Amino acid sequence: MLKEYFRREASNFLRLGKSLAIVVLIVYFDQATKQYFNNILVQGESIQIFQGLDFTLVYNSGAAFGILAEHSGWQRWFLISVSVIATVGIIVFLYLNRESEFRYLLPLVLILSGAFGNLIDRVNLGYVIDFVHFYYKNWSWPAFNIADSAIFIGAGLLFLHIVKQKNSDSG
């Protein structure tokens, strides 16, 4: 019985360690790319990679897609608070569900990585550095960064997991 307990806890430790390693790698890559583009571009400046993709430096004081960016500054503290609550909540959830298969934890690990990467910017700079810009003719997607991508992919995987779970429960 004790042997089984230690085997299970070792497995949980490895799962949480893998999660932490992913968070560290994504946050590092996010911060490094933001710093790189902040060093080589000035706000609003673009480098065209190919038709439809630019690296354009944008300082986003709002939420995703620039929501709340036009306000007077209160949104910084609001978004920092939301990020801290989400980050702590996800960490607690991951710990409490550490026995789950890693594929079920991965979406939250990605969301945590992105939330933490953008939180670092909001605390240190008062805004988030965005730089990836997709467009087609007159259509343009708002600039984003690696952290935003991690959140988007994590949310998509979480949505797929919920849909799959719901379908398996009803069928």
Alpha-carbon distance of 99 to 137, in angstroms, equals 48
Alpha helices in 58-139 (DSSP H): 74-96, 102-125
Identify the active-site residue in 30, 121, 148, 169.
148
- CB neighbour list of residue 70: distance below 8 Å, 6 or more residues apart: 62
Q: Is 35 exposed, middle or buried (0-12, 13-18, 19+ CB in 10 A)?
A: exposed
Whole-number Å distance between alpha carbons of 29 and 23: 10
Question: How many CB atoms sit inside 10 A of residue 145's CB?
Answer: 24
Distance from C-alpha of 63 to C-alpha of 34, rounded to nearest angstrom: 17
As a whole number of Å, the end-to-end CA separation of the chain is 37
Q: Is 54 a catalytic residue?
A: no
Residue 130 is among the residues annotated as catalytic for this protein: yes
Catalytic site residue from 54, 121, 130, 169: 130
Residues serving a catalytic function are: 130, 148
